[in-house]
Structure 1
Amino acid sequence: MSEYDTIVVGIRAYLSRNDLLANNDRLLQYVENGGHVVMQYHNPNDNWDPQLAPYPVQPGSPSIEWRVTDQTAHIDVLEPNHPVFSEPNQIGSSDFDGWVQERGLYYPSSWDERFTPLMSMADPEEEALDGGLLVAEFGDGTYAYTSLSWYRQLQAQVPGGYRLFVNLLSYPHAE
């Protein structure tokens, strides 16, 4: 096991970090050996390949069709008993209040069935997107792919954004 419980990979990291792209197999080995990765969204043109995740994840294209720009869009929790919504923080509908600019972008258009989608949301008059937060087990570890705009919520100090992000970082290590 690694000295790190969780590794967070920033938005569009494969576009700017050639070393990450070249060493992605080490990241997957970390997960397989019991680590947890939180992979933030990627544009389809960011050197992202669906095979960079432990199971295929394909960002939607054109990207304008694969985002939720209404920061007040209703969120349906698809797996309400999942630990991401309860450990260490109990997450409720009020945790999605006060989000800024958008819910998320570059949602995947497809993903391997071994991923579990945890949330569904939509802009008004649009079809719901279920790929905003995907989780999967891989070997002894876990991998989360998220299209939610965490950097906006954290920068704006949105309490619910922090609470949910802490849960995502803690999964599956929270008890």
Structure 2
Amino acid sequence: ETARITDEDAPVTVLVPADPVFTTPNRIGPGDWQGWVQERGTYFLDARDPRYVDLVSMTDPFPLNPGVRKGALVEAPVGQGTWTYVGLGLFRQVTAGTPGAYRLLANLVSRPAGR
């Protein structure tokens, strides 16, 4: 079973608020998770090495998808860089013009080379 959050309004908990994904160049806050469309994300990363760090968690309000879900935004150090997995539905948000998703995407593509 692949984890997903189907409610676009499901609360998002930022687990590592000091991570550059949430601070540079845009500070990502609660308002950036508002106004999302269709779903938060699908195909969340499941089994993994313990070096992988979950950056967010969410809980779907639907009884058929109970529990806290992680794996939507994950990173791990690899060599001299950082590997990032994004299961968030950014492709839906960008086409809908969701401002917070654009800000998060800008942070993801603005990460410096190396750590």
Contact 1:120 1:128 (C-alpha < 8 Å) held by counterparts? yes
**SS of 2:109's equivalent?**
helix
- State the 4+ residue runs in structure 1 displaced beyond 4 angstroms: none
Query: In the TM superposition, what are the counterparts of 1:98-113 in structure 2 within 5 Å?
Result: 98-113=35-50
1:138 lines up with 2:78 in the alignment: yes
1:163 lines up with 2:103 in the alignment: yes
Pairwise CA distance, 1:170:
1.3
Pairwise CA distance, 1:172:
3.5
Residue deviations 1:55-96, cap 9 Å, x none?
Answer: xxxxxx2x3xx1100000000000011111010001100000
1:87 lines up with 2:27 in the alignment: no
1:73 lines up with 2:10 in the alignment: yes
Aligned residues: 110
Query: In the TM superposition, what are the counterparts of 1:1-175 in structure 2 within 5 Å?
Result: 61=1, 63=2, 66-124=3-61, 125=63, 126-173=66-113
Pairwise CA distance, 1:108:
2.0
TM-score by length of 2: 0.90
Contact 1:142 1:172 (C-alpha < 8 Å) held by counterparts? no
Pairwise CA distance, 1:109:
2.1
Pairwise CA distance, 1:113:
1.1
Distance 1:71 1:145 in 2: 19
Structure 1 stretches lacking a partner, 5+ long: 1-60
Output the amino acid matched with 1:93: P
Between 1 and 2, higher relative CO (CA 8 Å, sep ≥ 6) is seen in 2
The root-mean-square deviation of aligned C-alpha atoms, in Å, is 1.1
Structure with higher helix content: 1
Output the amino acid matched with 1:162: Y
Pairwise CA distance, 1:110:
1.6
Identity percentage over the alignment?
A: 45
Distance 1:70 1:172 in 2: 32
